[in-house]
């Protein structure tokens, strides 16, 4: 086991300028994408910037010989999660410009910037002066020169078998939760009555979801456009014109 | 000049800070979710860095679990966003000041 470390060092023998240049490009991608996610006004642009960041992180994974995770990163994150984001953005029709300059909570943004800068500086300083390594290494198996997938699979199915099974339960719960949350209440009823009716007719809820999408959405949007500003005051003032814009 | 673990951890810190800033500053619920993903990725990067540094595959296994949890979290979170949006046509976090929709 201890002989693994020289072997490991022998594996990564490519010249260091390759490391440096790949790291620089990937880090630039990651940071540019992250800043883009935060500053973009259009949620669709944010999602595309998020893809850029995720690709940069995948490149950094490859650079650190985590090739399986790099593949999973691209497939699961860029391929599934961001597509889900884009799907919801398009589905809800919120892909319009947001008024970033409006600040309902006065002084919250400068405070947030200050706090984040303070925290990040503290973390960087801690990284400079303290020693993170506790000495308890090699708990889950030594990262030898063996293929990354083989190591990961062995560890996952031996040491981490119970957590791995628990993730299966977690995914099932997430699927059930998503189905329950996204189910459309029966159309034609007001939201208060729909809550009660939903319990009585669970089987028809999914069936008339397709037809409810066509008939239910416009009058709901009209209702919120008229009732929104009157009941909720100036905080929801921006939703009125937006809803009216979609369904004139 | 070689790229040591410190560079990766520094990048991870900056990425986490940008994600936290986004969650605090932006109002759109969807963009806040994306910023949470940024923070998760920063943590993943730190995990992989420590896995390489300590020659321990456990860090990479943990990244695997974080990916699973992130997928589940996004599915449920977006389901909640869709459910909220159906009640009131807005994805603005400031408009959501009532527990009852």
Beta bridge partners of A36: none
Q: Confirm whether A79 is domain-assigned.
A: yes
The number of folded domains in chain A is: 1
| Cβ atoms of residues A143 and B52 within 8 Å | yes
Beta bridge partners of A124: none
Query: What domain range includes position A29?
Result: 1-97+143-148
Q: Which residue of A has its CA nearest to B78?
A: A88
Look at A100-104, A133-137, B10-14, B59-63 and tell me which has the smallest mean pLDDT: A133-137
Q: What is the mean pLDDT of residues B1-26?
A: 88
Confidence tier at B99 by pLDDT (50, 70, 90): low
The reply to whether residue A159 touches residue B61, judged by beta carbons under 8 angstroms, is yes
The reply to whether residue B13 touches residue A123, judged by beta carbons under 8 angstroms, is yes
**Dist. CA A46–CA A52, nearest whole Å:** 10
Q: Is the pLDDT of residue B52 over 50?
A: yes
Give me the CATH number covering residue A36. Answer: 1.20.120.1200
Query: What was the ipTM of the complex prediction?
Result: 0.91
Residues of A in contact with B55 (CB under 8 A): 4-5, 8, 137-138, 142-143
Q: Which A residues, 24 through 83, put their C-beta within 8 Å of a C-beta on chain B?
A: 27, 30-31, 34-35, 37-38, 40, 43, 46-47, 50, 53-54, 57, 60-61, 63-66, 68-69, 72-73, 76-77, 80-81
Classified as helix, coil or strand, B28 is strand
Confidence tier at B100 by pLDDT (50, 70, 90): low
Q: Confirm whether A200 is domain-assigned.
A: no
Classified as helix, coil or strand, A48 is helix
Torsion of Cα atoms, A28 then A34 then A40 then A43, to 10°: 130
- Walk along chain A (248 residues) and give the pLDDT tens digit of each residue: 444 444 444 445 566 788 889 999 999 999 999 999 999 988 899 999 999 999 999 999 999 888 899 999 999 988 889 999 999 888 887 766 666 566 667 778 888 889 999 998 988 888 777 765 555 555 555 656 667 888 888 888 998 999 999 999 999 999 999 988 878 766 655 554 444 444 443 444 344 444 444 444 444 444 444 343 334 334 433 443 333 334 43
pLDDT of residue B91: 67
**Dist. CA A108–CA B3, nearest whole Å:** 37
Residues of A in contact with B28 (CB under 8 A): 43, 94, 98
Per the model's pLDDT, the better-predicted residue between A105 and B76 turns out to be: B76
Q: Confirm whether A18 is domain-assigned.
A: yes
Residues of B in contact with A221 (CB under 8 A): 89
pLDDT of residue A92: 83
- B28-95 topology per CATH: Helix Hairpins (1.10.287)
Q: For residue B68, what are the CA distances in angstroms to A13, A77, A140, B65, B75?
A: 33, 10, 19, 5, 11
Q: Using the CB atoms, write b or e for B54-71: b if 16+ within 10 Å.
A: bbbbbbbbbbbbbbbebb
**Dist. CA B93–CA A188, nearest whole Å:** 27
Classified as helix, coil or strand, A93 is coil
Residues of A in contact with B93 (CB under 8 A): none
pLDDT of residue A3: 42
Q: Confirm whether A84 is domain-assigned.
A: yes
Q: Confirm whether A158 is domain-assigned.
A: no
A-B CB pairs within 8 A amount to 256
CA terminus-to-terminus distance, chain A:
71
Beta bridge partners of B92: B28
pLDDT of residue A54: 94
Per the model's pLDDT, the better-predicted residue between A30 and B58 turns out to be: A30
pLDDT of residue A93: 77
């Amino acid at each position: 086991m201890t002989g693994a470390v020289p072997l490991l060092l022998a594996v990564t023998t490519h010249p260091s300028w390759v490391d440096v240049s790949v790291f620089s490009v990937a880090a630039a991608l990651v940071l540019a994408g992250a800043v883009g996610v935060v500053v973009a006004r259009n949620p669709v642009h944010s999602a595309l910037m998020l893809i850029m960041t995720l690709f940069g992180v995948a490149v950094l994974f490859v650079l650190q010989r985590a090739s399986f995770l790099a593949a999973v990163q691209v497939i699961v994150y860029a391929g599934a999660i961001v597509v889900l984001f884009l799907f919801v953005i398009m589905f809800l029709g919120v892909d319009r410009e947001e008024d970033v300059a409006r600040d309902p909570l006065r002084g919250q943004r400068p405070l947030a910037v200050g706090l984040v800068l303070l925290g990040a500086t503290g973390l960087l300083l801690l990284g400079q002066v303290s020693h993170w390594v506790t000495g308890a290494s090699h708990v889950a198996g030594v990262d030898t020169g063996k293929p990354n997938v083989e190591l990961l699979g062995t560890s996952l199915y031996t040491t981490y078998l119970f957590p791995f099974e628990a993730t299966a339960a977690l995914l099932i719960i997430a699927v059930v939760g998503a189905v329950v949350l996204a189910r459309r209440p029966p159309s034609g009823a007001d939201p208060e009555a729909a809550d009660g009716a939903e319990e009585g007719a669970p089987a028809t809820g999914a069936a008339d979801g397709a037809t409810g999408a066509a008939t239910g959405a416009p009058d709901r949007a009209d209702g919120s456009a008229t009732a929104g500003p009157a009941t909720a005051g100036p905080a929801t003032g921006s939703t009125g014109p937006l809803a009216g814009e979609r369904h004139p | 000049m070689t790229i040591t673990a410190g560079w990766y951890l520094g990048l991870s810190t900056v990425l986490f800070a940008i994600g936290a800033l986004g969650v605090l500053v932006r109002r759109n619920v969807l963009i806040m979710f994306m910023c949470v993903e940024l923070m998760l990725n920063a943590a993943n990067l730190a995990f992989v860095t420590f896995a390489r540094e300590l020659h321990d595959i456990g860090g990479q296994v943990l990244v695997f679990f974080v990916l699973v949890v992130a997928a589940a979290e996004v599915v449920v979170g977006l389901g909640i966003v869709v459910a909220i949006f159906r009640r009131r046509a807005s994805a603005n976090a400031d408009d959501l000041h009532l527990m009852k929709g």
